[in-house]
Structure 1
């Protein structure tokens, strides 16, 4: 039979990346390259007087308008979103009224998605006046003078650059007035993507080792023993290495320079090559594989029901309701293993970036070299490389917060939403505004994937959906700690007496523990009895007992800083953020007041800005104050503070967790 020739696509329906633009627009494809275009491609298209990015969502037979413009070019050879992602974006856009183009752009890495911008530069008339030593206009306002000085000093500036230089200033109206008066010229611009694969220059041995040894003494002119020694060291290094070696490593190890490398290349001894290098954020994570634990009867019952979901054509969402420590993660691991066996991939969502290290470590121990991570702490390059691996199907598992839902897996088989009750799964600050829990359920329905929602305290809406039969509910009522041997190993590593073991046997291999007892202390009673500390007397006693047993303690407080309210005792004036009117938080570390909402910062005043009084007082408790009070209560104690202020640097979460796990605090 003759091959069926598919008709060439002539038109493309595109969601454009233009803020506040809701619609989709039809374009025609260049005839000579129309076969190159695919659904999901990132392209540039004309839009009004500017060029913008857009994503192809379908190829209509007939355009919605009689006259169409041509698509300009493809920015990435592979589709940047899958068909399932396009359907998910359409669903989110419909439910939340977010622009479809903006929703789709949120699914691709920062740096690949670029919005058009306006560039401002001096007009020819202004340049001529400045060359003659004159000012473009004499009656400029202070804001106009400031903006004009910036452009004279720095050259042409784009709108986003001015946003950073002039935050919280209405510079756009100022620029508009200068443009209308002929002082400035504005023009639309669309920059190229700022992120791309990382290429590294490396050195590779060329030829035969016998021939290279014969030239070893002739690598430099006579009278230059230092150059000879450097080149000999480089040649020996690349000859001994099995693979090519990065030039930066060669420079560091041998002290050679580029001239030495070029001389070796001219002699035909080495080749300078460019190699694609993966920016792997998990490269330095230590893996400790362990045996797969035996499931408890409750876990086995839950797992049997989940296996049934893998066989269903349209599986229902599964609510895994298990108390803290009941072994929900082991169920996730079994589900991921099942997914990989079927040749599919899994997305694991966690509510906070701080939880990512712990979860990633568990999954890496079970599935080495198959796990990726996506979150805002990564560099643009790391996010791009992980996204690329996921898009190509080179990863089986991605762990991340709510944005991890947009991982472009080609054959998604499982979505896990851990701690599904957490409010951080909702993105309400910026568009697209969506809830990752609802998005996960929709995405699983679109792709036919199994969706597991785990929680120790599911909210009332989730329980209602489960009890109505829309979702399937699984329960894990028993708290499992670990295998008996693992617990004894931990006690020994922490120099603990096994007699302090608080666990009780669940069966021959597993040990469990009851949920911890809770004690509510009325701090008003403590104050009446003379305790002015932020720690109650029972807490102080428990802390001392814990340290005497060489055990560890964790103190939780949902407030950063050293005081949460700063005011004047005389007039009652409260120091608030001038931008968003929230109370400023005091930080003792640098004697500053900060707004935790917008980032505003100022020094702590010595006198009241309203009445001039020096009776400025600070009340409220923050994590800095807790740490300081702890050091006074228990001098010499090894403490660590884990909050946003101490985890701004890359890898800080991993470092704190590792130190605490190894009993360094």
Structure 2
């Protein structure tokens, strides 16, 4: 079996076939993010399809699978192909628009001074023949000497609007610098915290209280930690246990070895909406529609019945509706019902808020109606929050 891949290399428009190594058989499919060899580089790519026969005589193998879950759906792949064709852009550039910042990475070059003696000798030649080019050489060498090996994008930030790459390649050919092609790993990944949880029935934990330490101070800390874990029962961030009991990690590790406590790494979702408390939310009961709302809703419901295909299909024929009404006339309730109907049919809904000042009010309305199902995306989110919101939308 072979894979057809769009590689994440600027200006490359074609698709490339790679062989599927035995260790990845059964794990790869359309939409998976992988690393592959491309020339002398290692680059990222997205699998578009599996094929039985490659388009070339010799193929290189896929190197690694970066995410066990596909990063693109079949619908997104088809949309990306259509956009690439209609806008005359590389397919990889369109795919990058569909991935959260930090997940997709492009190959880069790492520069390093080869030998301080060569660097000093070259610097003396620069001093004897100062020019604009040699001045840039000196500045580049100063930067690498001060900060050590740097990637090309790091040097870009230092030499804003200066074409330093030709100078760097000249220094590589001169033997002053070394260069190495690298592929940075994704800068975002799931976040894990260390948690503690009671591992035995509360009565067994109570019975062991007198045997938790040899000194009075140790015994007091561990008893406080164990009593706190008895009171909560569920996994708790160890920092919370420290704050409530005064214990430390070695105390918890000792109780873990005794089988009283379980320490584990637990994934947490970075969700900006967690800061909104449930008491702040309005009633989630849908109100009775007014006559005008009912007329509008009936038209939208007809469109659902007429155009949406079964949930397994990603092809649909959209209908557009414009709701007209003054503030407070009930337009948001129609949006809420349309979103609920889409979800009931196995689809998803995107709500675009026209003004940032309307976001808190709109978010609370949707959170109250769809608890645990709302994700928020805006320009002020951290990369981790954006990544986790994107992941939740794929579940």
TM-score, with normalisation over the residues of structure 1?
0.54
Shift of 1:355: 4.3
Shift of 1:41: 0.8
Q: How does 1:78-477 map to 2 (within 5 A)?
A: 78-123=69-114, 126-129=115-118, 134-140=120-126, 141-222=134-215, 225-285=216-276, 286-313=280-307, 315-325=317-327, 326-351=329-354, 355-392=358-395
Distance 1:305 1:210 in 2: 61
Deviates more, 1:283-292 or 1:351-360: 351-360
Q: Residue 26 of structure 1 aligns with which residue?
A: 17
Change (3 A) 1:260 1:34: closer
Q: Secondary structure at the match of 2:157?
A: helix
Shift of 1:27: 2.0
Q: Secondary structure at the match of 1:349?
A: coil
Shift of 1:351: 4.5
Change (3 A) 1:20 1:268: same
Higher relative contact order (CA 8 A, sep 6+): 2
Q: Secondary structure at the match of 1:322?
A: coil
Do 2:7 and 2:45's aligned partners in 1 also have CA atoms closer than 8 Å?
yes
Q: Residue 63 of structure 2 aligns with which residue?
A: 72
Distance 1:170 1:351 in 2: 40
How much is the aligned-residue C-alpha RMSD, in angstroms? 2.2
Gaps of 5+ in 2: 127-133, 308-315
Do 2:35 and 2:62's aligned partners in 1 also have CA atoms closer than 8 Å?
yes
Q: Secondary structure at the match of 1:53?
A: strand
Do 2:34 and 2:64's aligned partners in 1 also have CA atoms closer than 8 Å?
yes
Distance 1:246 1:163 in 2: 40
Distance 2:240 2:233 in 1: 15
Distance 1:291 1:237 in 2: 37
Deviates more, 1:143-152 or 1:162-171: 162-171
Shift of 1:135: 4.5
Measured against aligned partners, the alpha-carbon deviations of 1:276-322 in whole angstroms (never above 9, x if no partner) come to 11111100213222542333333222211111111114544213141
Distance 2:289 2:202 in 1: 57
Do 2:198 and 2:233's aligned partners in 1 also have CA atoms closer than 8 Å?
no
TM-score, with normalisation over the residues of structure 2?
0.88
Shift of 1:116: 0.8
Q: Secondary structure at the match of 2:14?
A: coil
Distance 2:393 2:296 in 1: 29
Change (3 A) 1:300 1:207: closer
Distance 2:373 2:104 in 1: 27
Shift of 1:51: 1.0
Q: How does 1:4-23 map to 2 (within 5 A)?
A: 10-23=1-14
Distance 1:353 1:112 in 2: 27
Q: Secondary structure at the match of 2:210?
A: helix
Which has the larger share of helix? 2
Do 1:320 and 1:328's aligned partners in 2 also have CA atoms closer than 8 Å?
no
Measured against aligned partners, the alpha-carbon deviations of 1:410-433 in whole angstroms (never above 9, x if no partner) come to xxxxxxxxxxxxxxxxxxxxxxxx
Shift of 1:335: 0.8
Distance 1:375 1:22 in 2: 30
Distance 1:321 1:120 in 2: 57
Do 2:192 and 2:268's aligned partners in 1 also have CA atoms closer than 8 Å?
yes
Measured against aligned partners, the alpha-carbon deviations of 1:606-652 in whole angstroms (never above 9, x if no partner) come to xxxxxxxxxxxxxxxxxxxxxxxxxxxxxxxxxxxxxxxxxxxxxxx
Q: Secondary structure at the match of 1:345?
A: coil
Measured against aligned partners, the alpha-carbon deviations of 1:210-251 in whole angstroms (never above 9, x if no partner) come to 4433442343324xx333322221111112212021111111
Change (3 A) 1:355 1:175: farther
Shift of 1:136: 4.2
Shift of 1:38: 0.5
Q: Which structure's CA Rg is the greater one?
A: 1
Do 1:309 and 1:315's aligned partners in 2 also have CA atoms closer than 8 Å?
no
Shift of 1:374: 2.1
Distance 1:239 1:298 in 2: 56
